[in-house]
Structure 1
């Protein structure tokens, strides 16, 4: 089915019923039917490769004047187009939901992030069936579809290995998925899924996730063109780079040795000059002032500066590394002879650069997440400088670097009010699609404009019905008019922005905005009505001169327009609450695990932290039924978390052991005194908390069939989060190891673990967790 008579506004396309007389005998010359024709999009529809990098600010990549080499992006831009007024939502999950649906993030329920979902329509985290994703529209029109990398749009209560899978990639139009579901993952030991099944990366000391994802994407396009050369593909490549942890091999980060000794203030000036020379900002674009909340480079402690430099060197190497491997995918498409008719859309970031590394940066962001940032003194950081970027660090750079990576704009990721949070570089490459080469486009566009651009390029209409459901109109506008139209008038005249109360409105060049919350600062937030609004004129490219006091009438008009747009797109009610959004029953969302007891059976693994009953800050017990054929046994019975925080119940030299890993700082080990006999037995660990306090210490008792088998102390415990991506596993410890007593491979229990039961005391100190700190943890993992 490819002809112009195919009706594509109702999907799936209804099967055509044969017409005419049906004969008794197939040998009858008149007994014939039209041949079966496979579904294909309109003739000439291009292959589509959408690349989405993570946490890359406008001023990071060399393709947009930044200090980090991105030769692939430069190559595509030289033969294509750079867009210098392209925008995202200021946060990961919302930008991805908007990209994949062509609708504003609140309109598809992703007003913030899935962890903060409420029952309000704009914040459910549940994409409505009235907004079919781009991949599903393309699949139902005859495209091959695949996603590689990060998927962080699945509601938390649907993210267990049992789904439901309607909002997983394979339920969202992608025929194949290979990647991870969390907001971040360890680049050397990631938590991976293939389609809907958890899998493990190969035990290769040279493994890196970015390389793996690009290898998989290359294999996919080669296979697709080998088996279905007449069928176009839609590949969505979304590496975890450059989201924290910033992890890359030294051969990449060492290229930048000494390149950032001038500090972030001078780096911003250098970057702006390169941006002017490239034409990605106008010659008169001004460098915005550094906010008071961000310290000057000269104010940073002298002894800390080598660490700060190394943080940025690692980040730069990480960005160059991912761009290099994206280039391998582009090369593979070119080698197949398909590059000319492949529409490549390269989004250099899903939001501004991340300022979630705090003022000094961190060698292990889990320390920050657990309220232990004060432990990372300049001396502590200096002692761990050689670990930055490697598998034993979970590092993130300092706020000052994030601000520099958003040059020349104000603010960073999460701050949807200002361009530093929402303006990202965009490159479009399609040799057969337009004649322009190496040009810059000024038209104002937003991430919701990607989906309608792809549909128009493919010659496909926006469907009115998908799977029997009437569709909400796509809110984006196609960008194709601008491909060969450098002077074409903007077709996006208005765009609202909002993220956690940070909000703004663009209308015909003017912007009005107000910052409600600073990402790296905790504490109470003011009432929305007390926020101070700013006003910027069309010729003020960087939002450097606030005209609110001079033109109050215009400001009021734009504020009213923001309110109208917010009402249209389900932004209201705005929600900056903390406590209420963490309690599922108060927020109105389902809760995956309830009660005080959970039984986990043999073979269950890769259970996310949200899929397991919470043992933190309270007394609890872990009981396992094990069948040990031979004695002495060894290996992990059950473990949660990994090398940067967690706990493990395991067997060493035939005796039970318990390890509590305190955010990678210290490992408390309680060793059993009695061996586990051969046969069927119960092994139990009881943790008796010292009291109701965050990170409480306690006494650990080990038991075999109810008989004491060892006791010991744990002086302090992880209070808030074990890991951003590590999981609970029965019968082994997948990912990075909790304990130093075993490695990351060959740690499986030598017998059989039939089941594990976790019981928790109802008395918990969770209520003492600062809601603002918990909010920071959730936002930082996006």
Structure 2
């Protein structure tokens, strides 16, 4: 009540003061400066505002979604809200991205080619070359920064993985976080995927502590936040335009969905991917999305026809697709809530809604799919037997699943291959643009060649905002993309984006005026430790204007054209920081060398004073893949419980903790096996010194010893798939608490420590000694 009175009094005083101003002090456009207020006149206080009538902008980037997976693109998954947007606008049939998430997001938000803004691959395996170091130059200001400088509010919600991994902690630096890239507010996750039931989230720069809820799902949480921020403008200017970048974890693995949606799709994909692909193609032809004579491409090597699979394989693979479909439909449902909120406010017609994907459908589940993407991320490939053990809860919280690569092939119908390749299946994805207040067309198609770099120029053009000359105090480099606004009212207009290179860890291509040359350097994209030889690469040539499915390689018949295209690729590669060509295994090897150098620099010792939380694995001691010791000096309460040190979570990780005063080491291997080494001895209240020794014996066994005040109190053996690289990109390393999910039974953590951590020393066994 006291604050309420204060603000009322302040308002009254302000009104009275304004009424009492002498005539000479009446506000004008420019201030008059005298010695005192009495002989001065204030000027009008002005702030930059968006152009009159400027539209809102809502961009939904769907993760790992192929050309043939949305209902409005012929897909078999129900997406009524996306289809509703398509009916109110345009569907582009010749729109392309880069073949991977980090690169596409950097290109989309900056309007520049991904290598040119230093993210030619994935930021998780950044390499010290200009095209691969993951440091977006300040001269490549984002669409958000351009809009913010012009009076827009800017919001980012969801996935933000195109930043250096080492920056993803509470201490920053925040240059490459959304706040450093032009966004006023952020809510989301800083990794390539997220546990949709228990994600590690950030609100602006602060960790989010989620309250346990049985019905929690990340997509719904993201919709709640979006609707809240849209409505929050009522506090100042309800009509101030905003840009919202809404980037779901769906439908990247893990394919998590509420049970009601999993139940909804039971039995819907039992006919398999061959039948599904043909059904999608038939629908696409009926919708006019592809030529009437288009045929399905041959299956890639290693992908079997459905009839060649065993009954158990068919049953397992159908279940995998059910989870994917459930996740996509659920995300569509949540997006519909945002559309409804805008419509209820009378703002939907003047909102530019763009829905697209960051790359084609993902084959990273390998031939069998996987019950855990963390398993795959450590170069373990799940067997059918391993997957079947998780059949009943596939898509639920105890799995972290990805479907088999045959479903990615079907999802990219009618194009060849999948994410990470430079074929159309890796890069040609849906793009839906709706703006009833600015686009007269309803439910129409556009076939101009377009690229992800065109999104930023299009948004600025629609908003009536010229690209800023200066952003972040630096003169801005030119856009590589072009505005698509020319196509809004002109379905037959020629494309204005005539040439585009592609490169993704050796897979590369060049497009120019209806022709495309492609190199299939690395097609088993799920095996990121392989190292194909660049000298063995052979270029293919396609006239994609006549053969959009890339099924007729005409390189032999057109050597002159192929030579022209190869020279064009080389020119574009040199101009955009593409060289040197790099395999994923090269990048991972470089990351491991940097890790080894950092270990040696530290003397293989990490020291912490007191509790700490939310340290990303990139900054944590490399305990997932090494032998190590943990020495902890503690002050404990009587019969203490809680976490001493923890990393990872319920899909792989460990915790050193106390349970009723007894030291315990709980380990969850990547194949979900749970091991526990527990002491019988109760630690006394007060000062205690614990020592944990973890000695790896290969990749499936480790020996554990726990010592208290110099005496061994427990020992045991850990068995299971031990990490080769990491536990999880989304979980964290914590001391004195566990801020993520936990490795204990049921995904629980041991909670905060009853007591105090004085110091923790973590010593890594040097690699040669292991």
The answer to whether the superposition gives a TM-score over 0.5 is yes
Distance (Å, rounded) in 2 between the aligned partners of 1:23 and 1:617: 71
Distance (Å, rounded) in 2 between the aligned partners of 1:442 and 1:666: 51
Task: Give the direction of change, closer, same or farther, for the CA distance of 1:382–1:120 in structure 2 (3 Å limit).
Answer: closer
User: 2:426 aligned with 1:421, yes or no?
Assistant: yes
Q: Give the unaligned 5+ runs of structure 2.
A: 1-27
- Indicate the SS of the match to 1:578: helix
- Indicate the SS of the match to 1:511: strand
Q: CA RMSD, aligned part only?
A: 2.2
Distance (Å, rounded) in 2 between the aligned partners of 1:252 and 1:267: 19
User: 2:605 aligned with 1:600, yes or no?
Assistant: no
- Indicate the SS of the match to 1:272: helix
| Deviations 1:513-569, CA, capped at 9 Å, x for gaps | 111101134533022463332323411122222111221211111111111111111
User: 2:439 aligned with 1:434, yes or no?
Assistant: yes
Tell me what 2:4 maps to. Answer: none
Distance (Å, rounded) in 2 between the aligned partners of 1:589 and 1:485: 57
Q: Tell me by how many angstroms 1:764 deviates.
A: 5.3
- Indicate the SS of the match to 1:50: strand
Distance (Å, rounded) in 2 between the aligned partners of 1:397 and 1:21: 70
User: 2:133 aligned with 1:124, yes or no?
Assistant: yes
Q: Tell me by how many angstroms 1:408 deviates.
A: 0.3
Q: Tell me by how many angstroms 1:719 deviates.
A: 3.2
User: 2:142 aligned with 1:145, yes or no?
Assistant: no
Equivalent residues of 2:609, 2:758 under 8 A apart: yes
User: 2:760 aligned with 1:756, yes or no?
Assistant: yes
Task: Give the direction of change, closer, same or farther, for the CA distance of 1:609–1:568 in structure 2 (3 Å limit).
Answer: same
- Indicate the SS of the match to 1:495: strand
Distance (Å, rounded) in 2 between the aligned partners of 1:593 and 1:448: 41
Q: Tell me by how many angstroms 1:695 deviates.
A: 4.2
Equivalent residues of 1:581, 1:587 under 8 A apart: no
Distance (Å, rounded) in 1 between the aligned partners of 2:554 and 2:315: 40
1:40-79 matches, within 5 Å, as 40-79=49-88
Q: Tell me by how many angstroms 1:19 deviates.
A: 6.1
Equivalent residues of 1:599, 1:756 under 8 A apart: yes
Tell me what 1:27 maps to. Answer: 38
Task: Give the direction of change, closer, same or farther, for the CA distance of 1:590–1:126 in structure 2 (3 Å limit).
Answer: farther
- Indicate the SS of the match to 1:685: strand
1:726 to 727, 731, 745: 731
Task: Give the direction of change, closer, same or farther, for the CA distance of 1:584–1:653 in structure 2 (3 Å limit).
Answer: same
Equivalent residues of 1:117, 1:125 under 8 A apart: yes
- Indicate the SS of the match to 1:647: strand
Equivalent residues of 1:649, 1:657 under 8 A apart: yes
User: 2:388 aligned with 1:382, yes or no?
Assistant: yes
- Indicate the SS of the match to 1:697: strand
Distance (Å, rounded) in 1 between the aligned partners of 2:498 and 2:161: 29
Q: TM-score, normalised by structure 2?
A: 0.92
Q: Tell me by how many angstroms 1:671 deviates.
A: 1.0
Q: Tell me by how many angstroms 1:41 deviates.
A: 1.6
Equivalent residues of 1:736, 1:744 under 8 A apart: yes
Q: Tell me by how many angstroms 1:594 deviates.
A: 5.2
Equivalent residues of 1:735, 1:744 under 8 A apart: no
Q: Tell me by how many angstroms 1:435 deviates.
A: 0.9
Distance (Å, rounded) in 1 between the aligned partners of 2:389 and 2:244: 43
Tell me what 2:477 maps to. Answer: 472
Distance (Å, rounded) in 2 between the aligned partners of 1:589 and 1:443: 48
Equivalent residues of 2:608, 2:760 under 8 A apart: yes
- Indicate the SS of the match to 1:675: coil
Distance (Å, rounded) in 2 between the aligned partners of 1:33 and 1:321: 55
Tell me what 1:12 maps to. Answer: none
1:610 to 608, 613, 618: 618
Distance (Å, rounded) in 2 between the aligned partners of 1:594 and 1:391: 39
Task: Give the direction of change, closer, same or farther, for the CA distance of 1:53–1:592 in structure 2 (3 Å limit).
Answer: farther
User: 2:639 aligned with 1:632, yes or no?
Assistant: yes
- Indicate the SS of the match to 1:540: coil
Residue range with higher mean Cα deviation, 250-259 or 148-157: 250-259
| Deviations 1:438-457, CA, capped at 9 Å, x for gaps | 10011110111010011111
Q: Tell me by how many angstroms 1:587 deviates.
A: 7.3
Equivalent residues of 1:60, 1:406 under 8 A apart: yes
Tell me what 1:494 maps to. Answer: 499
2:100 to 91, 105, 111: 91
Equivalent residues of 2:166, 2:616 under 8 A apart: no
User: 2:279 aligned with 1:270, yes or no?
Assistant: yes
Q: TM-score, normalised by structure 1?
A: 0.91
- Indicate the SS of the match to 1:547: coil
Task: Give the direction of change, closer, same or farther, for the CA distance of 1:217–1:400 in structure 2 (3 Å limit).
Answer: same
Q: Tell me by how many angstroms 1:420 deviates.
A: 0.1
Tell me what 1:536 maps to. Answer: 543
